[in-house]
Structure 1
């Protein structure tokens, strides 16, 4: 299985267009050793010659496709290696890119849960708008643990797990979450038996989620914030990481502590990193803490083979 990190940043990307925090200002003026990142999305295929699945369609999807020739194999006048799109949630930074895929000649194959489909048909009616262009062939992601495949992406088996997190701010159940607002995905190479657990938005690690993580060969999980009060301390928000559905990396019960409990063989990556997170600074003590813990930070363009 080949996993391409198309984008590794949280909403707004890095540097964020209107932000002058230490990270954003530093990467612009060269005083912080950090790499710019687009908004989070991955592309997964069973091998380098196969078509694959786009997990989340970020607002930066056109730039991401241009930057990764494997997604445009040029086998015909119009072509794409994207066999289908799977949405982890209905957040703006994970769904707006669907608009950019509207030039298809056939309806866009899209997998999402019922709550996400509802949100993208009402509060943020992307699916209805796309009906005026290519249209959408929406497929339901079940939450009962059953596996499914995306036709045209051979050798990949997918299974969803409902997560404790938050729906998008425009959702009517933002403050009263329902199962399916946010999911993690077990992605299995059915030929080799290797598995990735992918969860870019993760507010709590329940026993079922930890079991899925512990059984995977690699995990790629929520790297949004370093501390729970990060945005409050910087004066950028009145909400904690948990308030908006993210588990911070540091502190008791944080992501680092949970990842340290996984088997030693498990690969550990953080994705969906907010522009304020000090781990973006490659010389920061926080990045050094991750390195000592065997945790890596995703970068745009990174290729992972399982």
Structure 2
């Protein structure tokens, strides 16, 4: 299995468009020191020709044009794509807005839980994906139930504690029955993914509100894990932008501290432990920082755009 990170930043990318913090400022002035990052996006393939996307970031069009293996080929006609499907792990805007960039009458197959599908269908924007017959095919997936892609990659959705995105909890959306469905069928709003092929296992969990025993057990069985690295500390965002929430209150366990990810997963023996979904405020973005050194010394790496695992 070929696995690629096309982007590694949290929402807003890096540098963030409206931020002039020290890190964003340094990234703009000295990108050779602190590298820019596109918003989180992953892709995988069993043969290097047919690809599946994990979510669809707002930067997806640029990410496709940066990676030739994801681009159409004139050998297959005027309209084609090597992208065989998109797996959605949530209905968060940062994970689904890229779907609207794929609306050019191209048949798409989207794998999602019933709750995620219903949430998107309740928004009229996504009708742009259904302008012609058979333009969009939904495949329903279920937490904990494995399915196979391309006959080779076994994919298991892993339920992650989490709720519907903010826009789906506001007035108007509730009329579609989405909140009732979320209550009746918990575990569908947020997912991680376990990918298995040729006896190897990779866990993709870029949003982790709580490090559970179930997650630890899964990580211990993997050859590589990609884990939520949004924030270094719980108060990081609040210190940079006064009045903003703490990391844990918006569903992200910070890296540092006795109850942070590095400490909680210190005994995981996976040969590859990689942080992804890095927020623009996280000091590990500067490879000269003490925080970056702490991550490396603890046996982790910071995912980079273009990071690949074969």
TM-score (norm 1): 0.91
CA contact (8 A) 2:216 2:265 kept: no
Residues 127 and 218 (structure 1), Cα distance of their counterparts in 2 relative to 1, 3 Å cut: same
Deviation per CA, 1:205-262: give whole Å up to 9, x if none.
Answer: 2121221111111100111111111111112443111111111111122111123120
Distance of 2:157 and 2:125 partners within structure 1: 22
Bigger shift: residues 38-47 or 133-142: 133-142
Match of 1:297 in 2: 302
Match of 1:257 in 2: 263
Give the 3-state SS of the residue equivalent to 1:188 in structure 2. Answer: strand
Give the 3-state SS of the residue equivalent to 2:215 in structure 1. Answer: helix
Residues 272 and 99 (structure 1), Cα distance of their counterparts in 2 relative to 1, 3 Å cut: same
Residues 154 and 36 (structure 1), Cα distance of their counterparts in 2 relative to 1, 3 Å cut: farther
> CA shift at 1:118, angstroms?
2.0
Match of 2:53 in 1: 54
CA contact (8 A) 2:105 2:131 kept: no
> CA shift at 1:270, angstroms?
0.8
CA contact (8 A) 2:72 2:79 kept: no
RMSD: 1.9
Deviation per CA, 1:130-151: give whole Å up to 9, x if none.
Answer: 22267321111111x221023x
Distance of 1:7 and 1:157 partners within structure 2: 23
Give the 3-state SS of the residue equivalent to 2:268 in structure 1. Answer: coil
Aligned pairs for 1:88-167 within 5 A: 88-106=89-107, 108-122=108-122, 124-132=123-131, 135-143=135-143, 145-150=144-149, 153-167=150-164
Give the 3-state SS of the residue equivalent to 1:11 in structure 2. Answer: coil
CA contact (8 A) 1:34 1:281 kept: yes
> CA shift at 1:125, angstroms?
4.2
CA contact (8 A) 1:162 1:184 kept: yes
Match of 2:173 in 1: none
> CA shift at 1:104, angstroms?
4.0
Residues 302 and 31 (structure 1), Cα distance of their counterparts in 2 relative to 1, 3 Å cut: closer
CA contact (8 A) 2:106 2:135 kept: no
Distance of 1:227 and 1:65 partners within structure 2: 33
Distance of 1:114 and 1:220 partners within structure 2: 25
1:212 aligns with 2:222: no
Q: Number of residues paired by the alignment?
A: 294
Deviation per CA, 1:265-305: give whole Å up to 9, x if none.
Answer: 43101111111111111111110001101111111111112
In structure 1, stretches of 5+ residues that fail to align are: none
Residues 87 and 67 (structure 1), Cα distance of their counterparts in 2 relative to 1, 3 Å cut: same
CA contact (8 A) 1:214 1:266 kept: no
CA contact (8 A) 1:127 1:136 kept: no
Deviation per CA, 1:142-175: give whole Å up to 9, x if none.
Answer: 11x221023xx342110011101343221226xx
Give the 3-state SS of the residue equivalent to 2:121 in structure 1. Answer: coil
Give the 3-state SS of the residue equivalent to 1:23 in structure 2. Answer: helix
Distance of 1:94 and 1:119 partners within structure 2: 13
Distance of 1:211 and 1:126 partners within structure 2: 39
Aligned pairs for 1:22-37 within 5 A: 22-30=22-30, 33-37=33-37
Distance of 1:229 and 1:105 partners within structure 2: 43
Which structure carries more helix by proportion? 2
1:19 aligns with 2:16: no
Residues 99 and 56 (structure 1), Cα distance of their counterparts in 2 relative to 1, 3 Å cut: same
TM-score (norm 2): 0.89
Distance of 1:219 and 1:275 partners within structure 2: 22
Give the 3-state SS of the residue equivalent to 1:209 in structure 2. Answer: helix
CA contact (8 A) 1:15 1:36 kept: yes
Distance of 2:59 and 2:102 partners within structure 1: 11
